[in-house]
Amino acid sequence: MSRSRKWIWLSCILFIASAPAVFARTQPAEKEGVLVGRISHVEGQLLRYVPEEQDWVATVKDAPFGLDDAVYSEQEGRSEFIMPNNSWIRIGGSTQIQLLTLKTDVTAMDVASGVARFYSKGNSAVIKATTPFGYVMAQPDSIFDLYVGDQSMEVIAIKGEVDFIHEATGTRYEVMPGSSSVVADERLVTAGEGQVDADWDDWNAERERIWSKRLEVKGDSVRYLPPAIRDDAYALEEHGRWERVRYENSYRYFWRPVNVGVGWTPFSAGRWTVWYGDNCWIPHEPFGYVTHHYGNWVYVGNYWYWAPPAPAVSVGVGVAPGLGIGINWYPGRVAWIHSGVNVGWVPLAPMEPYYTHRYWGPRTIVVSNVTNINIHINRFRYVDHAVVINQNNFYSVNNYHDVRVRNINRTTIINNYRPAPVVNNTVINNYTKINQRYNFTNVNVVNKPHRTVVNRISRNEQIARDQARGWDARVVRDNVGRAKRGEIDRRAVVDRPRVTNRIVPAAEVNKPQDAVRFQQRELKQRVRPVKEVQGAVTDDRRQRRDLRPEEPPERPDGSTSTGDRIRPPGQRNERVRGEQTREPRSPRQERQEPSTPRVQERQERRDRTEPGVREPRQVKPREESEGVRSPRQERQEPSTPRVQERQERRDRTEPGVREPRQVKPREEPEGVRSPRQERQERTTPRVQERQERRDRTEPGVREPRQV
């Protein structure tokens, strides 16, 4: 074999051997899933802005609420939003909000107008609420109200640690529960009365009672659901049961719905809508949200079971509560099929790929070129359980249960239907021209927000693209901590928040503002003190941890103290009125006085002494057995005439009693006194009395040395 051929073979071998390593290095790292909030309750009409259409549609309960989503409530409307990081938001009428950031440790929301109540119910997520006049930052376990009008705003702390940062000055103001509120406009910041709207507060209290009752549920659902979706345990307990099922050679606990009809399949009672470019499932069943956006459906023994997104942690001998697939939100894990005028979808098995236009979580394949994707329809495990409808009903009904094409089996689908990774013009004719594909319901919207509302939405989207995506709790806290403190100017005059209802007839949406008759009202009609609000905690600020350390207040003598209690804004560095003070004690005194009978006796003697004069601490010599010398005595008594004299005096004392060591003062020339004599012989009545007692003692025995 020639030398050149040897080199060729060697190169091939090296390439083949190194291929797996090169392939592994080029694989992208697993991305994190997307956090998505949920609209959990709607009263009245809640409108969602559709950027693709530059129009508004009515949204519904159990619709998703994600990044950049902007909604506007009608004048009498009220809605509730729940985030997976345990941030809860409720809004009133004429309120415009937009989600800017949603992470495990931070929720950032813009409130352009109206009234909102924020709850940070977890122990890690902070809330940032922006307004045209500044923003509010609340620590975990906090509650606050926000009233945003056309010319001013008010923030009221109900519980926890809340701060307001003024937009114009960048100044930080503390908002304390049970104290004054903060009212601000574009220039000024002043104190408000700290009163909430009573009707608004009553509605929030009722919602809290409803959820408290729901969370009282006990059962396997609480045990098997992860904390992020445990709020839905009540729905699973009411509409199904957990069963021990053998699946893929292992016993597991799965949930089975029991209040469904014969032939029921997942993704059959509800509708599809386009959300973030992908078709998203809007459930019609009370248990539908958590079971169709988390976990996975499996078909075992003629029943459909839902496997929760719990880690595969054993809850019994060889029994796990799920498939260990992790907790991730998906729009709707199905595969698409089509044939002529019919369109259908197949529920995906746990490990089957999910094709979408954007990444949602593990097992997601983002589609960039549909023609390069090869899908085999006969490989879908549940292809014989497909839901098939006429394409005219795809975006025109709220529930597909009554419009399904019956008598469809596996053979028919494999022979006559074709798969598709996503819904497009090939699946549905003129799909991109169907405006109804963004509808969450078939409600016809006749009144919509004026076009000026969109200006704030576009501005927020630009800010979110530039900076908000990088927000986390640390960044938010640091920004607030760097803001300079401000003092409330109680003499400043700021108008109470008044809001304009900008929902107008659809024909007036694009008219100039001066050509439209808007209605304006005050945000608070009947008020209530914040101390009467359910869940209010008005005394926890005394234990508040500040965002950054402050310089301790200076005492009149120039020293500092860090032990002063916290007061309301403007008085935080002053000692609380009526607080008891005590005479300064040295650290040595503090250490040497434990609670013992000896200390009590010394305290009684101190109380009998003259004011301002304290009796020196008595040092009791340690008693040693007769004839036994301590190591300290051995060290302190060298063989000198003075030591021998002291030894003779010790021998004349009573057996077992040792005379305290005599310290002979240093002899000084006549007329010269030692510094120690100067210190020990102060001309005070107490010193003279002590000297007289010393002179009356027995010869050769003196009182223990006074310290």
Domain end position, chosen among 517, 535, 553: 535
* Residue 176 in domain: yes
552 is a domain residue: no
pLDDT digits (tens, 9 = 90+) for 84-138: 999 999 999 999 999 999 999 999 999 999 999 999 998 989 999 999 999 999 9
Calpha distance 270→289 (Å, rounded): 10
User: What is the arithmetic mean of pLDDT over 231-244?
Assistant: 96
- Output the pTM of the full model: 0.73
Is 343 part of a structural domain of the chain? Answer: yes
**Whole-number Cα distances in Å, 527 to 142, 151, 200, 477, 492:** 21, 20, 9, 32, 22
Q: Which residue has the tokens 């009903």?
A: 393
State the Cα–Cα distance between residues 537 and 138, nearest whole angstrom.
14
Does residue 495 share a domain with residue 422? no
Q: Residues 67, 128: one domain?
A: yes
- Indicate whether 641 pLDDT > 70: no
Cα→Cα distances 659→53, 665, 700, Å: 103, 17, 8
Is the CA virtual torsion 345, 288, 257, 392 positive or negative?
Answer: negative
Q: Tell me which of 475, 506, 535 is where a domain ends.
A: 535
**Are 429 and 502 in a shared domain?**
no
Taking all residues of the chain, what is their mean pLDDT, rounded to a whole number? 80
Residue 604: inside a domain: no
Predicted pLDDT at 368:
85
Predicted confidence at residue 597, as pLDDT, reads 54
Residues 390 and 513 in one domain: no
Burial (CB count <10 Å: 0-12, 13-18, 19+), residue 117:
buried
Task: Give CA–CA dist 543/522, Å, rounded.
Answer: 35
608 vs 461, more confident: 461
C-alpha span between 152 and 64 (Å, rounded): 31
Choice between 641 and 150, residue whose per-residue pLDDT is larger: 150
Quick one: pLDDT at residue 372?
77
In whole angstroms, what separates CA 645 from the centre of its chain?
A: 78
590 part of a folded domain:
no
Position 257 scores a pLDDT of: 97
Q: Are 573 and 553 in contact (CB under 8 A)?
A: yes
Q: How sure is the predictor about 646, in pLDDT bands with cuts at 50, 70 and 90?
A: low
| DSSP notation for 19-84 | HHHHHHHHSPPPPPPPP-EEEEEEES-EEEEETTTTEEEE--TT-EE-TT-EEEE-TT-EEEEE-T
pLDDT for residue 374 is more than 50: yes
Instruction: Tell me the C-alpha distance between 463 and 441, whole Å.
Output: 31
* pLDDT reported for residue 612: 45
Q: Indicate if 285 and 420 belong to the same structural domain.
A: yes
> Does a structural domain hold residue 553?
no
The residue range of the domain holding 180 is: 37-194+451-535
Higher pLDDT, 500 or 624: 500
Asked whether residue 53 falls in the same domain as residue 144, the answer is yes
- Integer Cα distance of 563 and 575 in angstroms: 9
Is the domain of 381 the same as that of 519? Answer: no
pLDDT digits (tens, 9 = 90+) for 560-593: 333 333 233 333 333 333 333 444 444 444 444 4
* Boundary residue ending a domain (411, 438, 465): 438
SS3 per residue for 642-692? HHHHHHHHHHHCCCCCCCCCCCCCCCCCCCCCCHHHHHHCCCCHHHHHHHH
**Percentage of the chain surpassing pLDDT 70?**
70
Least confident range from 331-345, 569-583, 597-611: namely 569-583
Question: What's the CA gap between 292 and 345, in Å, rounded?
Answer: 14
Q: Are residues 382 and 459 in the same domain?
A: no
Let me know: does 126 contact 105? Beta carbons within 8 Å.
Answer: yes
In a domain, 154, yes or no: yes
**pLDDT top residue among 36 and 691:** 36
Supply 637's token pair: 């008594």
Bridge partners (DSSP) listed for residue 242: 255
Q: State residue 529's pLDDT score.
A: 92
Answer yes or no: are the C-beta atoms of 615 and 609 closer than 8 Å. yes
Higher confidence at residue 337 or residue 313? 337
- At 211, is the pLDDT very low, low, confident or very high (cuts 50, 70, 90)? very high
- CA angle (412 as vertex; 411, 416 as ends), nearest 5: 120
Considering the domain architecture, whether residues 400 and 521 belong to the same structural domain is answered as: no
Q: How far is residue 248's CA from residue 362's CA, in Å, rounded to a whole number?
A: 20
Q: What's the pLDDT band for 185 if we cut at 50, 70, 90? A: very high
Looking up residue 461, the CATH number of its domain turns out to be: 2.60.120.1440
**Range picked from 339-343, 465-469, 653-657 for highest mean pLDDT:** 339-343
Q: Verify that 376 and 502 share a domain, yes or no.
A: no
Distance, CA of 11 to chain centre: 56
Contact criterion met (CB below 8 Å) for 236 and 333: no
Average of pLDDT values for 502-510?
95
Q: Distance (Å, rounded) from C-alpha 134 to C-alpha 132?
A: 6
Q: Three-state SS across 228-257?
A: HHHHHHHHHHHHEEEEEEEECCEEEEEEEE
Q: How many CB atoms lie within 10 A of CB 475?
A: 13
Tens digit of each residue's pLDDT (9 = 90 or more) over 294-309: 999 999 999 999 999 9
Give tens-digit pLDDT for 247-283: 999 999 999 999 898 889 999 999 999 999 999 999 9
> Do 108 and 190 sit in the same domain of this protein?
yes
Residue 474 maps to a domain: yes
Q: How many domains does the chain have?
A: 2
Residues 340 and 418 in one domain: yes
Closest-CA residue to 195 (of 151, 150, 163, 157): 157
Q: pLDDT class for 689, splitting at 50, 70, 90?
A: confident
